[in-house]
Amino acid sequence: MNKRQVGTTKEALAEKLLILNGYEVIEKNYRCRKGEVDIVASRDGYLIFVEVKYRKTKKYGLPMEAVDFKKQAVISAVSDVYRIHHKIPEDKKIRYDVVAILGDTYKIIPNAFVYVSGITSKSTRKY
């Protein structure tokens, strides 16, 4: 399998894991000009933006380490666009979770990071 196929397979696994843990999956692979978020879900009154990260081994670091500040900023910016596009009320509770998959083990990390304001992937590029 190539990387895209592996990613698709792991995202499907993450979706199943989330559902088994009480999440309602609303949308997958939401894209806009700011970037992409793997899964948009809801649970316990929260609108949740979920990033799925997979590592076969620890050789290149743990999955959660790949959700660095820059990635958090992109997901935050995408969540803003999603909320505007879907007319989500400003007082709706929002959360950012990560599904970290290492080999055959997984962990759902609720509130993995907080909203990162004012930085997008374009503003962090070096020219």
Contacts of 58 (CB under 8 A, 6+ apart): 102
> Helix or strand or coil: residue 121?
coil
Residue 17 CB neighbour total at 10 angstroms: 16
* pLDDT value of residue 126: 41
Given the candidates 3.10.129.10, 3.40.605.10, 3.40.1350.10, 3.40.1440.10, the CATH classification of the domain at 3-109 is 3.40.1350.10
Q: Where does the pLDDT of residue 1 fall: very low under 50, low under 70, confident under 90, or very high at 90 and above?
A: confident
Output the pTM of the full model: 0.89
Distance CA(11)–CA(74), nearest Å, equals: 18
Q: Which residue has the higher pLDDT, 81 or 10?
A: 81
* pLDDT value of residue 37: 97
45 φψ region: left (φ > 0), alpha (ψ -120 to 50), beta (else): left
Domain boundaries, the chain: 3-109
Q: Which of 52, 36, 48 is nearest to 94 (CA)?
A: 48
* Residues 9-56 pLDDT 10s: 989 999 999 999 999 999 999 999 999 999 999 999 999 999 999 999
Residue 56 CB neighbour total at 10 angstroms: 11
Task: Say whether pLDDT at 124 is over 50.
Answer: no
Contacts of 16 (CB under 8 A, 6+ apart): none
Burial of residue 76 (number of CB atoms within 10 Å: 0-12, 13-18, 19+): buried
